[in-house]
């Protein structure tokens, strides 16, 4: 393992969610999301999380692993390979076939158990850092990162826009509710990131194909050590009872015209008729 000046290598676990691409998700005839027809992708902020981990690992040495709880439909293999092609050492899929971990509380409990299982499987003494996307592109609960920190009893810095490890301590920048902050904590720690922190690398088709040699390891949720599926199943939950496309209250009028001037004039006359423009 390559060590950079004075730095010890980092073992980083990135929590990754594979989601139906919200931008390509259509409603079916009943106004329900047509999940079977939407292409899958790595949840947007999770790509930034993987990138942030890889950049730290390039500086300090160490390895970056991915963990994903897969509920229901298995993501297509090419999407899994994409995550590996970005630079993950291995991808762990925790298979939740009965959709037990379908809310953020249960997800965090399952992920906490998964972090321990992966340590054992990879024979790593301990994790140094956990990186999560700030929120998932599909459910957008923005809870799992901070929840996982509590479940693992770790210090957490959400919304990091810059990360550094100095003398074994984590230094993070962020901009939150009108303030710019530099925060510092000990390792191991957990951070969440959004698009601000980096531009995630895009693996080439060749790299994605080459990633087929890297390990994808499945663990059934119920087999995670220390994970009590039955007890969790009896805990209170957040249950989705219906998902539908809301009827749009918008007029959704497409302004037509031969050129910019015509379009502009049309728009202005519409806005004047509505009383939104007073001149």
Partner 1 sequence: MDGASILIFSESSDALVELLTVGRALCTPAGGRVTAAAIGQTATALAEHCLARGADEALVLQTTAESFPGAEELVFGLRESVRAADPDTILIGATRIGADVVARLAQALEVPCASDCMTLCRDRDGNLEVERRIYGGRFTARQVLTGRPRIASLQPNRYPKAEPVQKPHGSIRQLAVKLPPPRVRTEVSSPRARSAVDVTKAEVIVGAGRGVKKVEDLALLDALAGALGGVLAGSRPLTGDVDWLPTDRRIGLSGQTVKPNLYIACGISGQIEHIVGMKGARTVVAINNDPKAPIHAEADYTIVGDLYEIVPAFLEACERAKRA
- 131 vs 151, beta carbon nearer partner 1: 151
CB of 183 vs partner 1, minimal distance in Å: 5
The DSSP call for residue 196 is G
Per CB under 8 A, which of residues 39..78 are in contact with partner 1?
none
Interface with partner 1 includes 99 (CB under 8 A)? no
Distance CA 186, CA 163 (A): 13
- 230 vs 254, beta carbon nearer partner 1: 254
Per CB under 8 A, which of residues 13..32 are in contact with partner 1?
20, 22-23, 25, 27
CB of 250 vs partner 1, minimal distance in Å: 5
Three-state DSSP at 78 gives helix
Per CB under 8 A, which of residues 120..159 are in contact with partner 1?
134, 137-147, 149-151, 155-159
Interface with partner 1 includes 105 (CB under 8 A)? yes
User: 88: which 2 tokens?
Assistant: 């993950």
- 58 vs 263, beta carbon nearer partner 1: 263
End-to-end CA distance of the chain: 69
- The answer to whether the CB of 14 falls within 8 A of the CB of 131 is yes
Three-state DSSP at 273 gives helix
User: 169: which 2 tokens?
Assistant: 């301590």
- 18 vs 91, beta carbon nearer partner 1: 18
| Cα-trace Rg, the chain | 22
User: 59: which 2 tokens?
Assistant: 């500086």
Interface with partner 1 includes 168 (CB under 8 A)? no
The DSSP call for residue 52 is H
Of the listed pieces 9-17, 69-77, 99-107, 220-228, which binds partner 1 according to CB under 8 A? 99-107
Report the residue from 126, 178, 213, 258 that binds partner 1 according to the rule CB under 8 A.
178
- The answer to whether the CB of 57 falls within 8 A of the CB of 64 is yes
Interface with partner 1 includes 263 (CB under 8 A)? yes
């Amino acid at each position: 393992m390559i060590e950079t000046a004075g730095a010890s290598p980092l073992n980083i676990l990135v929590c990754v969610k594979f989601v139906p691409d919200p931008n390509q998700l259509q409603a079916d005839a009943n106004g329900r999301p047509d999940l079977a027809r939407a292409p899958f992708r790595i949840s947007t902020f999770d790509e930034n999380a993987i990138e942030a981990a890889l950049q730290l690992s390039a500086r300090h040495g160490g390895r970056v692993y991915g963990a994903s709880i897969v509920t229901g439909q298995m993501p297509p293999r090419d999407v899994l390979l994409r995550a590996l092609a970005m630079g993950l050492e291995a991808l762990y899929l925790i298979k939740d076939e009965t959709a037990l971990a379908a809310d953020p509380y249960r997800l965090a409990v399952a992920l906490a158990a998964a972090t321990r299982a992966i340590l054992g499987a990879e024979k790593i003494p301990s994790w140094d850092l956990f990186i999560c996307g700030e929120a998932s592109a599909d459910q957008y609960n923005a809870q799992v990162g901070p929840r996982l920190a509590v479940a693992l009893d770790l210090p957490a810095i959400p919304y990091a826009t810059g990360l550094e490890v100095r003398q074994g301590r984590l230094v993070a920048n962020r901009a939150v509710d009108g303030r710019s902050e530099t925060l510092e904590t000990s390792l191991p720690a957990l951070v969440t990131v959004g698009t601000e922190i980096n531009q995630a690398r895009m693996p080439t088709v060749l790299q994605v194909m080459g990633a087929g040699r890297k390990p994808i390891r499945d663990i059934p949720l119920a087999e995670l050590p220390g994970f009590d599926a039955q007890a969790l199943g009896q805990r209170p939950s957040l249950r989705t009872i219906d998902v539908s496309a809301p009827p749009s209250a918008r007029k959704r009028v497409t302004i037509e015209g031969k050129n910019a001037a015509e379009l502009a004039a049309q728009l202005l006359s519409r806005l004047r008729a509505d009383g939104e423009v007073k001149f």
